[in-house]
Structure 1
């Protein structure tokens, strides 16, 4: 066994400030990903609808139906995840704007 030397960093972690612009940029990116996921889901569902399963084996038909449902479900989950993130970031950006404007209006004590 060899001993590993653990070096402790003396640097202090940099604390990034949260700004409304960063929130709005993040909301835009999450919204774009939700839109892309929506287009992907639509394309996959259309492709599956246009190509029916041709088999006489009931087990194969059931398994392929489950797999198709899972594929469409997982991709459509991306719509909801990214959409909710976009809404949350947008709301956070609005909240930060309101807080910063109320701090400017109130006198310092």
Structure 2
């Protein structure tokens, strides 16, 4: 019998996803995101900046179904503390719902 190797699910590999997407859909933006994709790992702010560069049309429809892991949520909440933003300002900055920010604070900061 062959042994099965279990791999840990560490989340999406954003570098590979963006690399493949840019190569297939918009090779003209490769130079714009080259600095981000050369990093060993991408932070939440890197992912958001790359999204802004690639999908700059400003349409909220593209950002309708976003999901965040715990690390990303904590990074967003730390950003709020660092920059002394209220929930409305944070929600506007990251294009979130104020209710989402309130829910995260209620769940993770209690």
Q: Which has the higher contact order (CA 8 A, sep 6+)?
A: 1
TM over 0.5: no
TM-score, normalised with respect to structure 1: 0.22
Larger radius of gyration: 1
